[in-house]
Amino acid sequence: MTPKALVITSNVGVEQDELLKPLAFLRSKGIECIHAALEQKPVQTVRHDKDPAQSYDPDALLGKVDVNDYDILIIPGGTVNAGTLRMNKDAQKLVQQFSDAKKPIAAICHGPWLLINANRIQNKHLTSYPSIQLDLENAGGKWVNADVHHCNTDGWMLITSRSPEDIPVFNNAILQELETHN
């Protein structure tokens, strides 16, 4: 069976490369990818957190997706995107459902912020954009400075990366996780 990835975003402030490059890479490897957003309207992306980039239509509504249909959850960054997702109950619930089902989650840049509000950061070793290191540590995470980090604490895999520069290793880590466990 073909692995299936769920990528979730808000509708504003999504770091363009952190959304599009994993989608394109995984699709090129035969992985089915669905992009779900908070609202069924265009998603406005940015570059470097402040420069407007292109808009993209999501494939699904975040509040309507079923964790049982997917093999991995991917959370792109962008400060506004991650800040919005972390306050959204549906996004928090998805993180909780994926981790409870022992399914992997991959987050890049500011994406790990959502893990804090979903109460899934305690004792996890992870990396992120350096500016949120203290947030993650204060929530009980163990921050490491690495281009990609894998953590299987509590029986579910968390894959994290720091920034758009780390996207190639982030993408390969996601692909390896899907190939190993499907």
Choosing from 33, 35, 110, 149, which is the catalytic residue?
110
β-strand pairing of 51-56 with 43-47: antiparallel
Choosing from 33, 35, 48, 109, which is the catalytic residue?
109
User: What DSSP string describes 115-171?
Assistant: HHHTT--TT-EE---GGGHHHHHHTT-EE---SEEEE-GGGS-EEEE-SGGGHHHHH
For residue 134, count other CB atoms closer than 10 A to its CB. Answer: 10
β-strand pairing of 158-161 with 148-151: antiparallel
Q: CA 45, CA 167: separation in Å to the nearest integer?
A: 16
Q: Is 109 a catalytic residue?
A: yes
Catalytic residues: 109-110
